Structure formats: structure tokens, C-alpha cells
Structure 1
Amino acid sequence: MATPIPLPSRNERKAPKWDSQYEEQLPTFFEEFKTVAKDAAIDSDDVKMKKESLRYVDAKTMRFWRSLDTFEDNTKTWKDFKMEVLSNYPGAEQLPKTTTETLKKVVAKYTKSGVRDSQELAEYHREFATVAKSLTKHGILSGVQVAGYYVQVFPDSVRAQLNMRLQFQHTGKKKGEAYSLAELKSAVDFLLTDANTSLIDSLSIRGINATIGERSVHCVTDSGCSIVAMSDTACNAFGIAFDPGRTIPLQSANGETDWTLGVAKDVPFRFGEVLAFLQVHIVPSPAYDVLLGRPFEVLTQAHIRNFLSGDQHFTLTDPNSHKTVTIPTIPREPPRYCKGDSRERRK
């Protein structure tokens, strides 16, 4: 058993402190006192807890707390005493001064100035999280509502990319379950890997070209995604059959949930001399034709090499013939297949 540490004197740096002018800080004072009381091994002694708490308040407050019924009555617990004290300081139980309007002002501020790199994202995140945590703690906003506000500073094109990354990184999200602010920040930070790259252009996202049958398709690469996916329009264009009985939920940053349409089995993707048969989830109206996630890299034993110039090479191995090929990646291209008729977009 650890040796008890005596309670600190009032003037010691680690002593609990509370200024009665700031009622809202009283709960924090009680938490700090509980910590030092536990170190001193008196936290289970209600009488000592009540008595020793007085050493850290001013004389006027001390006289008042001593007059309380729960202090004088030794049958009353520390919890009873603390609740009676708090009931006499309305400010300690008030809701925070921050409101939904406060959060909207933060969003409006950064929507106007823009979030262009990781540094600006960090500044926005700190300011947003400070307000949002208070609002969720007091039940003013739900986690889903907070996430919806968080992503409003980014343009539609970026939110589509953000949703794509979130959906395939967190496929286990249940319907209505919010993404945490940490998950949202991590996903946006991925889009801002290059501090000199505009978030709107999002040139940090790269892809490679493959062929299915005799037709070419541009594939976005993302090691953080747990599946391989294809848009429904590309699926229609290639005439690929899929199993509609195997679907998974996809939740966007604002809490809305969609479902994949099914899984296409053993779709033959050719990358130069390498042929890979992939299990592909069919997704309605994403911002890509094909998304190559982690299963693709595992199957092809992909080695990824990055260069200071910003170039990137994928070295792939055919899982059957063991032939290898190195393919340079290129900046992400917009989807080639139109929603209306699934024809390849002309360049």
C-alpha cells in the first residue's frame, strides 16, 4: 500500500484553489481537492473530508460552509455536504455561456478565412472543439450535429472526398453513430498531407490506371480504406454483375447513412503485366470510379515509394505468375463515367 502524502498547505503550488468570485469553477475545486485527499488517504473519511476542505477557501467562505447543516451533522456524508455547498452557488450549476450561435460564429470565421493546410486545420480544430465539447457535455448538441457543423468549413468537393475516406476507414460505424472530432480531423489531415497543396485541389490524393476487359479505368488509391469499391455508374458501364445480398453501411460526416449496393466477386483488374482478381463493393454515386483500398495492396504485395518531387511509384506483384511491375501514380482524376448513361466522359 502506498504511503499517504500529507495534504498540501494552502500556499503550495499543487494545493486546490478557488476564488469565490468565480462560482463556475467550484466543481473543479472539488475535483482537485478529491485528488489530494485521495493521496492523503482521507477520501473515505467523510468528517475529515468536510473539515479539511475548509483550509483551501477564504475566511468568509469557511464560516459559511461551517454553518451548513451537512457540515455540522456527522451522519451526513461528504457527498451530501458537497451537494449542499453547490446548491448555494447557482453559477456552479449553470449551463455554459457558449451556445450554438457561438459554434456557428467559429464555423463562419474559418469558412471565410479558409482552411488550407495542417496548421490552419489545427487552429480551427482547437477553437471548434473547445466550444463543441461544452455544448455536447450539457446536451445542447448531439455528436452527429457537432460533426455536421465541423465539416461546413470545407467546400462540397472536399466534403465528398472526406466522406469517402471516413466511410471506408470506419466501415463498422452503426447507423446514427457520430464520427468523433478526432476521426474527422485525422481524415481531413490526410487530405492536407502536403502543406503547400490547396485543400480544394486536393492534389495529395493520387491514383493509377487499370484496365477491366479492354477498357481503362482510373483508380484512386487509399491505404487507409478497408475495402475496394466501384461506383454504380462504372459498374453499369463495364457490365459487372454483383451480389445485392452483401451490403455494408456507409456513414457520411454529417451522420447520414447510405448502403453499398452489393459485392462483385473476382473482378479482373490488369495493371500492366499484373492481373488481380478483386472483391469490389458497389457504391451509389461516389466521387470516384474505383477506389483501391488495403485489400488491393495486400493481394498485390504492393510496395509504395514516395519521392521528394511529389512523385509516387507502386510496385505490384501478380499473385499467380509472380511477375512484377512498377507503375507511377498520377494526380486524382474526376470520374470518367456519367450518371445519366454510364458512358465514359470525353476529355
Structure 2
Amino acid sequence: MANVQPLPARNERKAPKWDSQYEEQLPTFFEEFETVAKEAAIDSDDLKMKKEALRYVDAKTMRFWRSLDTFEDDQKTWDKFKKEVLSNYPGAEQVPETTTDTLKKVVTKFAKSGVSNSQELAEYHREFATVSKSLTKHGILSGVQVAGYYVQVFPDSVRAQLNMRLQVQHTAKKKGEAYSLAELKGAVDFLLSDANTIYVGRESTSIRGVTAIVGEHPVHCITDWGCSIIAMSVATCNALGVMFDPTRCIPLQSANGKTDWTLGIARDVPFRFGDVTAILQVHIVESPAYDVLLGRPFEVLTQARTQSFLSGDQHITLTDPNTERIITIPTVPREPPRFRKPDEREWRL
């Protein structure tokens, strides 16, 4: 057999090595020995496997292994011999300093700091994979459980997109089969890339606005159908007394290229435009140059149609999603934000 390689000598670099002072490394030693044994084509010969493994251990260990019942009995297989050896080294069966609590601490750490770009994702992935590999290797967690922990660091909105991305990429995946960490990382990396990050509105004097009533307060809203969310500044949120969920955050990117996270989402906020009321899901952001931004979801919900005139005027026709009442409202030039934090500087275009 041309591809058969002789077993390496004990002092060769490729030879499996094990120091009996480090019991936890014994499983790795057996893995290394089985690799060279397969190359030497003796992996199917139980007697040779038991005999040749002794050449790579110290004299004291050799004498002990020879005394084991599974070594002396020619009817006992290599796997049974290996199992008996491992049973005599308690440290080899333990998980060194790795528990599910350790994994939870990694997730909590990065959930707090945020994972909003490829560099932060790579750092999180390295720490998570180091801990989770030991847990799966020793049967403490299944692949499905590990995947469940891995995605906890991302907001619900990212997880929803992640599921769709994975289903498109891995159509042959069987029901209940876990995605590997590499598959999860690849999908999240795609979602966090610049080409797929949510933009929070273009900086342009051509942006128009409309007035909505939120609660009892009139609020100037800019419209931007190119934005994939509806957003409200935290200062506006505070002034209007709008409650929001701080655990539901998403990554967003401003026109200057800076990536950040929203502060949370306010659910089912009623916006009145004359006789039309739209119930909106509003993302709260730190300090944008607007009070409210009406993005693509608003356009879809109200079936908004925009009509522009040569004079520069613009009208928007809205349909009430519940009553189907239709109104047309004029837009106005963009205004600076009315609601600002006390320490915010004067608004600039």
C-alpha cells in the first residue's frame, strides 16, 4: 500500500506525546496516536494498537498499562483498553474550568458591550467557540443548545433576519439539525456588513416633512422611504412620555458611516394625520437631527403615494389601514428638531 506511513519514532516531531502529570491531556494523546496508527494501517488491528501505544509513554506508565486486564486479554478490543486506561485517570474525564456558567458570562459580556460590526463579531466568536467546544466535546451541551446560546447576544430583529438568511443559505439542512458556529458567524457577518446595515436617513436639504399628532402633541416628522425603520429621538420620546422596550435593539448606520445601536423599540404608537391613524413600531435613537423619521414601514402601512410639483411642493396621499379613509396632506420643508436634550448643541444640517 503506497500511502502507508510507518509509525513515527518516539523522538520524532509527529509522534504522539503525553506527560503523565497532565491527566487532562490523555484524550488528546489517544487522538494523536489513532491518527498515526491509521496512517500506518494498524488501526483495525486491536493487538497492534494496544502494543504500539506503549512506545509513546514513559516506563512507569508502560508497566501499569501492561498490567490492565484489557491489555492482557487478546479478546479485548482497543476501545475497551482505552476506556479502561481513561477510567484510571480521573482528570482525563473532567472538563477543565469550563461550565455553562462560563459560556453565559461570555454571552452577557458581549450582549452588554454590543456586537455591531465584523471586528466585534470575530472577537465574540473566538471567546464563545473556545468555551463551547469543550462543553460539546464532553457532552454537556448539544449543538442545538450551543447555537441557542450563541444568538442570544443579538437583538430579536437580527435573529429574525438570521433565521431567514440561514434558511436561504442551507436549504439541505434537516429539521432539528443544528447550525454550526461557522455557519452562524457567516450569516451574522453578512447581516452586519455595511451593505446590509440599516441606514437612519440621508443628510439632504431635499428631505420633506409632515406633522403628526402623537398623544396630544404635534410632532414634525421627516419622510424617507429609503430608510427601513421608523425612528424617534430619545429626547422626543421623553417629551411625549412614550414608553419603549430597551431589550429590543438593532444596529443602524448614519450617513457619516458611524454604526451604532438603537436604545429600544416603542410598540403600537398611534400617529394621527388628520383623519388617518397609523399604529407604528418606533425605534428609539440617541441624538439624530430629527424628532421622528418615517421610513419604509410607514409608506407600506399607509400605502403612501407621493406627488411632486415643479414648484418644489410635494403632497402625500395616505390610506387609513383600518377604515380605508384616504387623505392628501401637503409636506413642508424639513425643520430642525424641536425636542432636544439640555446639553445638545445647536442643530446643524
TM-score range, shorter chain: 0.5 to 0.7
For residues 167 and 40 of structure 2, what CA distance do their matches in structure 1 show? 49
User: What corresponds to 1:335 in structure 2?
Assistant: 297
User: What corresponds to 1:12 in structure 2?
Assistant: 12
User: What corresponds to 1:107 in structure 2?
Assistant: 107
For residues 173 and 49 of structure 2, what CA distance do their matches in structure 1 show? 44
Point out the structure with max Rg over C-alpha.
2
Q: Does 1:76 align with 2:76?
A: yes
For residues 24 and 125 of structure 1, what CA distance do their matches in structure 2 show? 25
Which blocks of at least 5 consecutive residues in structure 1 are unaligned? 205-216, 222-286, 288-331
CA drift at 1:3:
5.4
The one-character-per-residue Cα deviations of 1:102-136 (angstroms, maximum 9, x if unpaired) are 11111112122222321221121122122223333
CA drift at 1:158:
3.1
CA drift at 1:96:
5.3
For residues 46 and 14 of structure 2, what CA distance do their matches in structure 1 show? 22
Q: What secondary structure does 1:101 align onto?
A: helix
User: What corresponds to 1:188 in structure 2?
Assistant: 188
Percent identity reads 76
User: What corresponds to 1:134 in structure 2?
Assistant: 134
For residues 109 and 6 of structure 1, what CA distance do their matches in structure 2 show? 49
User: What corresponds to 1:56 in structure 2?
Assistant: 56
For residues 184 and 144 of structure 1, what CA distance do their matches in structure 2 show? 12
Q: Call closer, same or farther: CA 1:3–1:102 in 2, change over 3 Å.
A: closer
CA contact (8 A) 1:192 1:202 kept: no
User: What corresponds to 2:199 in structure 1?
Assistant: 203
Q: How does 1:247-266 map to 2 (within 5 A)?
A: none
For residues 147 and 164 of structure 2, what CA distance do their matches in structure 1 show? 15
CA contact (8 A) 2:110 2:153 kept: yes
For residues 3 and 21 of structure 2, what CA distance do their matches in structure 1 show? 36
Q: What secondary structure does 2:199 align onto?
A: coil
For residues 86 and 220 of structure 1, what CA distance do their matches in structure 2 show? 60
The one-character-per-residue Cα deviations of 1:257-284 (angstroms, maximum 9, x if unpaired) are xxxxxxxxxxxxxxxxxxxxxxxxxxxx
Which blocks of at least 5 consecutive residues in structure 2 are unaligned? 201-223, 229-280, 282-293, 303-319, 332-349
Partner AA of 1:152 in structure 2: Q
The one-character-per-residue Cα deviations of 1:149-180 (angstroms, maximum 9, x if unpaired) are 22222234433443443455556766654443
Q: How does 1:83-232 map to 2 (within 5 A)?
A: 83-95=83-95, 97-169=97-169, 176-194=176-194, 202-203=198-199
Q: Call closer, same or farther: CA 1:140–1:219 in 2, change over 3 Å.
A: farther
For residues 170 and 41 of structure 1, what CA distance do their matches in structure 2 show? 36
For residues 142 and 192 of structure 2, what CA distance do their matches in structure 1 show? 27
CA drift at 1:49:
2.0
CA contact (8 A) 1:17 1:56 kept: yes
Comparing 27-36 with 73-82, greater Cα deviation is found at 73-82
Partner AA of 2:110 in structure 1: Y
Q: Call closer, same or farther: CA 1:53–1:167 in 2, change over 3 Å.
A: closer
Aligned residues: 228
Q: What secondary structure does 1:335 align onto?
A: helix
CA contact (8 A) 1:65 1:71 kept: yes
CA contact (8 A) 1:115 1:154 kept: yes
Q: Call closer, same or farther: CA 1:193–1:12 in 2, change over 3 Å.
A: same
For residues 335 and 25 of structure 1, what CA distance do their matches in structure 2 show? 56
Partner AA of 1:105 in structure 2: K
CA contact (8 A) 1:191 1:202 kept: no
For residues 160 and 185 of structure 2, what CA distance do their matches in structure 1 show? 15
CA drift at 1:220:
9.6
